[in-house]
Amino acid sequence: MSHLIAPSLLSADFLNLERDIRMVNDSQADWFHVDVMDGHFVPNISFGFSIISQIKSIATKPLDVHLMISDPDRYVADFKKSGADNLTVHYETCIHLHRSIYSIKEHGMKAGVVINPHTPVENLRDIVAHVDLVLLMSVNPGFGGQKFIEGTYNRISRLKDLLIQLNSQAVIEVDGGVDTTNAARLVEAGADVLVAGSAVFNTPNPAETIKKLKLLS
Ligand code: DX5
Ligand code: ZN
Protein backbone atom coordinates (compact mmCIF):
# COMPACT_ATOMS: atom_id res chain seq x y z
CA MET A 1 0.00 0.00 0.00
CA SER A 2 1.10 3.55 -0.55
CA HIS A 3 1.83 5.42 2.67
CA LEU A 4 -0.87 7.43 4.45
CA ILE A 5 -0.79 11.02 5.70
CA ALA A 6 -2.39 11.98 9.01
CA PRO A 7 -2.32 15.75 9.70
CA SER A 8 -2.27 16.45 13.42
CA LEU A 9 -5.03 18.87 14.43
CA LEU A 10 -2.95 19.93 17.44
CA SER A 11 -1.34 22.50 15.14
CA ALA A 12 -4.60 23.60 13.50
CA ASP A 13 -5.98 27.10 14.03
CA PHE A 14 -8.57 26.46 16.77
CA LEU A 15 -10.33 29.72 15.95
CA ASN A 16 -10.83 28.35 12.46
CA LEU A 17 -11.08 24.68 13.25
CA GLU A 18 -13.97 24.04 10.88
CA ARG A 19 -12.01 25.61 8.00
CA ASP A 20 -8.96 23.46 8.78
CA ILE A 21 -11.00 20.26 9.05
CA ARG A 22 -12.65 20.95 5.69
CA MET A 23 -9.21 21.64 4.19
CA VAL A 24 -8.08 18.17 5.36
CA ASN A 25 -11.34 16.65 4.04
CA ASP A 26 -10.62 18.10 0.60
CA SER A 27 -6.89 17.31 0.63
CA GLN A 28 -4.93 14.17 -0.16
CA ALA A 29 -4.69 13.34 3.55
CA ASP A 30 -5.96 9.96 4.70
CA TRP A 31 -6.66 10.32 8.43
CA PHE A 32 -7.12 13.05 11.04
CA HIS A 33 -4.57 12.66 13.83
CA VAL A 34 -6.12 13.76 17.14
CA ASP A 35 -3.78 14.25 20.13
CA VAL A 36 -5.26 13.90 23.59
CA MET A 37 -3.03 15.09 26.48
CA ASP A 38 -3.85 15.01 30.17
CA GLY A 39 -1.19 17.17 31.85
CA HIS A 40 -0.13 14.08 33.80
CA PHE A 41 1.48 11.57 31.45
CA VAL A 42 2.71 14.51 29.35
CA PRO A 43 3.38 18.10 30.48
CA ASN A 44 0.62 19.61 28.36
CA ILE A 45 -3.19 19.54 28.12
CA SER A 46 -4.99 19.49 24.78
CA PHE A 47 -8.67 18.68 24.30
CA GLY A 48 -11.28 16.08 25.15
CA PHE A 49 -14.53 14.42 24.18
CA SER A 50 -16.75 17.33 23.17
CA ILE A 51 -14.20 18.73 20.73
CA ILE A 52 -13.57 15.28 19.26
CA SER A 53 -17.33 14.73 18.76
CA GLN A 54 -17.55 18.05 16.95
CA ILE A 55 -14.56 17.21 14.76
CA LYS A 56 -16.22 13.88 13.96
CA SER A 57 -19.45 15.58 12.91
CA ILE A 58 -17.79 17.15 9.85
CA ALA A 59 -14.72 14.95 9.25
CA THR A 60 -15.00 12.70 6.20
CA LYS A 61 -11.86 10.70 7.03
CA PRO A 62 -11.09 8.38 9.97
CA LEU A 63 -10.10 9.86 13.34
CA ASP A 64 -6.78 8.48 14.52
CA VAL A 65 -6.83 9.26 18.23
CA HIS A 66 -3.47 9.26 20.06
CA LEU A 67 -3.95 9.09 23.81
CA MET A 68 -1.17 10.67 25.85
CA ILE A 69 -3.02 10.06 29.10
CA SER A 70 -2.54 8.00 32.24
CA ASP A 71 -4.94 5.10 32.77
CA PRO A 72 -6.46 5.17 29.26
CA ASP A 73 -8.64 2.11 30.00
CA ARG A 74 -11.05 4.33 31.92
CA TYR A 75 -12.03 6.25 28.80
CA VAL A 76 -12.15 3.68 25.97
CA ALA A 77 -15.96 3.73 25.76
CA ASP A 78 -16.03 7.54 25.80
CA PHE A 79 -13.57 7.80 22.94
CA LYS A 80 -15.64 5.34 20.94
CA LYS A 81 -18.73 7.44 21.64
CA SER A 82 -16.86 10.59 20.56
CA GLY A 83 -16.09 9.07 17.16
CA ALA A 84 -12.58 7.61 17.35
CA ASP A 85 -11.83 5.08 14.60
CA ASN A 86 -8.31 4.22 15.74
CA LEU A 87 -7.40 4.41 19.41
CA THR A 88 -3.72 4.31 20.31
CA VAL A 89 -2.42 3.93 23.85
CA HIS A 90 1.09 4.40 25.20
CA TYR A 91 3.00 1.28 26.20
CA GLU A 92 4.37 3.37 29.09
CA THR A 93 0.86 3.97 30.52
CA CYS A 94 -0.59 0.46 30.32
CA ILE A 95 0.20 -2.04 33.04
CA HIS A 96 -2.15 -4.53 31.39
CA LEU A 97 -1.47 -3.65 27.78
CA HIS A 98 -2.98 -6.79 26.27
CA ARG A 99 -6.21 -6.09 28.16
CA SER A 100 -6.24 -2.45 26.98
CA ILE A 101 -5.76 -3.50 23.34
CA TYR A 102 -8.61 -6.02 23.52
CA SER A 103 -10.88 -3.52 25.22
CA ILE A 104 -10.31 -1.10 22.30
CA LYS A 105 -11.06 -3.87 19.79
CA GLU A 106 -14.16 -4.98 21.66
CA HIS A 107 -15.43 -1.41 21.43
CA GLY A 108 -15.17 -1.65 17.65
CA MET A 109 -12.06 0.47 17.06
CA LYS A 110 -8.68 -0.30 15.54
CA ALA A 111 -6.16 -0.71 18.34
CA GLY A 112 -2.73 0.86 18.39
CA VAL A 113 0.23 0.93 20.73
CA VAL A 114 2.70 3.81 20.87
CA ILE A 115 6.20 3.95 22.33
CA ASN A 116 8.29 6.89 23.46
CA PRO A 117 11.67 7.48 21.78
CA HIS A 118 13.57 5.76 24.62
CA THR A 119 11.44 2.61 24.83
CA PRO A 120 13.08 -0.28 22.97
CA VAL A 121 11.15 -1.47 19.93
CA GLU A 122 11.88 -5.02 21.09
CA ASN A 123 9.61 -4.50 24.12
CA LEU A 124 6.69 -4.85 21.70
CA ARG A 125 7.58 -8.41 20.74
CA ASP A 126 4.64 -10.02 22.54
CA ILE A 127 2.00 -7.47 21.56
CA VAL A 128 2.57 -6.77 17.85
CA ALA A 129 0.54 -9.75 16.72
CA HIS A 130 -2.48 -8.26 18.53
CA VAL A 131 -2.44 -4.65 17.36
CA ASP A 132 -3.59 -2.92 14.17
CA LEU A 133 -0.93 -0.24 14.37
CA VAL A 134 2.30 0.66 16.09
CA LEU A 135 3.07 4.33 16.52
CA LEU A 136 6.69 5.32 17.00
CA MET A 137 7.23 8.70 18.62
CA SER A 138 9.99 10.57 16.85
CA VAL A 139 9.92 13.34 19.51
CA ASN A 140 9.09 13.19 23.21
CA PRO A 141 5.30 13.44 23.36
CA GLY A 142 3.52 16.54 24.58
CA PHE A 143 4.08 19.33 22.07
CA GLY A 144 3.96 20.07 18.39
CA GLY A 145 6.87 21.66 16.56
CA GLN A 146 9.73 19.73 18.18
CA LYS A 147 12.90 18.54 16.50
CA PHE A 148 12.82 15.13 14.83
CA ILE A 149 15.00 12.48 16.54
CA GLU A 150 17.32 10.96 13.92
CA GLY A 151 17.51 7.53 15.56
CA THR A 152 13.93 6.97 14.39
CA TYR A 153 14.96 5.57 10.99
CA ASN A 154 16.78 2.72 12.67
CA ARG A 155 13.86 2.11 15.03
CA ILE A 156 11.46 1.85 12.08
CA SER A 157 13.68 -0.73 10.38
CA ARG A 158 13.98 -2.76 13.57
CA LEU A 159 10.22 -2.63 14.08
CA LYS A 160 9.60 -3.63 10.47
CA ASP A 161 11.88 -6.68 10.92
CA LEU A 162 10.04 -7.60 14.11
CA LEU A 163 6.64 -7.38 12.41
CA ILE A 164 7.78 -9.57 9.53
CA GLN A 165 9.40 -12.07 11.89
CA LEU A 166 6.21 -12.37 13.95
CA ASN A 167 3.84 -12.26 10.99
CA SER A 168 2.11 -9.10 12.25
CA GLN A 169 -0.04 -7.07 9.87
CA ALA A 170 0.28 -3.91 12.01
CA VAL A 171 0.99 -0.66 10.17
CA ILE A 172 3.89 1.52 11.29
CA GLU A 173 3.05 5.16 12.06
CA VAL A 174 5.60 7.87 12.88
CA ASP A 175 4.76 11.00 14.86
CA GLY A 176 6.82 14.08 15.66
CA GLY A 177 8.95 16.44 13.59
CA VAL A 178 7.85 14.88 10.30
CA ASP A 179 8.16 17.23 7.33
CA THR A 180 8.92 17.29 3.62
CA THR A 181 12.66 16.91 4.28
CA ASN A 182 12.47 13.56 6.10
CA ALA A 183 9.23 12.01 4.81
CA ALA A 184 10.75 10.08 1.90
CA ARG A 185 13.44 8.55 4.08
CA LEU A 186 10.86 7.55 6.70
CA VAL A 187 8.76 5.75 4.10
CA GLU A 188 11.88 4.12 2.70
CA ALA A 189 12.74 2.85 6.19
CA GLY A 190 9.28 1.24 6.43
CA ALA A 191 6.80 3.84 7.74
CA ASP A 192 3.22 3.32 6.51
CA VAL A 193 1.62 6.39 8.10
CA LEU A 194 3.18 9.83 8.58
CA VAL A 195 1.72 12.21 11.17
CA ALA A 196 2.53 15.88 10.56
CA GLY A 197 1.31 18.84 12.58
CA SER A 198 3.34 22.03 12.31
CA ALA A 199 4.82 20.99 8.95
CA VAL A 200 1.27 21.07 7.54
CA PHE A 201 -0.57 23.81 9.42
CA ASN A 202 2.30 26.28 9.79
CA THR A 203 2.86 26.52 6.05
CA PRO A 204 1.20 29.03 3.73
CA ASN A 205 -0.56 26.29 1.74
CA PRO A 206 -1.33 23.30 3.99
CA ALA A 207 -3.14 21.31 1.27
CA GLU A 208 -0.10 21.65 -0.96
CA THR A 209 2.18 20.43 1.84
CA ILE A 210 -0.09 17.43 2.40
CA LYS A 211 0.18 16.70 -1.31
CA LYS A 212 4.00 16.91 -1.12
CA LEU A 213 4.06 14.53 1.86
CA LYS A 214 1.79 12.14 -0.02
CA LEU A 215 3.53 12.20 -3.38
CA LEU A 216 7.08 12.61 -1.97
CA SER A 217 8.15 14.59 -5.00
C1 DX5 B 1 3.23 15.29 19.97
C2 DX5 B 1 2.02 14.81 19.23
C3 DX5 B 1 2.11 15.00 17.76
C4 DX5 B 1 2.24 16.44 17.34
C5 DX5 B 1 3.15 16.42 16.16
O6 DX5 B 1 3.21 14.83 21.25
O7 DX5 B 1 1.78 13.43 19.44
O8 DX5 B 1 1.06 14.36 17.06
O9 DX5 B 1 1.04 17.05 16.97
O10 DX5 B 1 3.47 17.71 15.82
P11 DX5 B 1 4.67 18.05 14.85
O12 DX5 B 1 4.36 17.37 13.54
O13 DX5 B 1 4.62 19.53 14.77
O14 DX5 B 1 5.91 17.52 15.47
ZN1 ZN C 1 0.32 12.38 18.11
- Quick one: which atom of ligand 1 is closest to the CA of 198? 13
Per-residue pLDDT tens for 132-144?
999 999 999 999 9
Whether the full predicted model's pTM is greater than 0.85, yes or no, is yes
Per-residue pLDDT tens for 1-48?
799 999 999 999 999 999 999 999 999 999 999 999 999 999 999 999
Strand order in the sheet with 86-90: 4-7, 193-196, 171-175, 133-137, 110-115, 86-90, 63-68, 32-37
Distance CA 121, CA 184 (A): 21
Is any ligand 1 atom within 6 A of the Cβ of residue 179? no
Active site residue 175: yes
Active site residue 78: no
Given 64, 85, 175, 179, the catalytic residue: 175
- Quick one: which atom of ligand 1 is closest to the CA of 8? 9
Contact 156, 134 (CB under 8 A): no
164 alpha carbon – ligand 1 mean position (Å): 27
Question: Which pLDDT band holds residue 64 (cuts at 50, 70, 90)?
Answer: very high
Per-residue pLDDT tens for 98-121?
999 999 999 999 999 999 999 999
Question: Which pLDDT band holds residue 128 (cuts at 50, 70, 90)?
Answer: very high
What was the pLDDT predicted at 1?
Answer: 72
113 alpha carbon – ligand 2 mean position (Å): 12
**Mean pLDDT over all residues of the chain?**
98
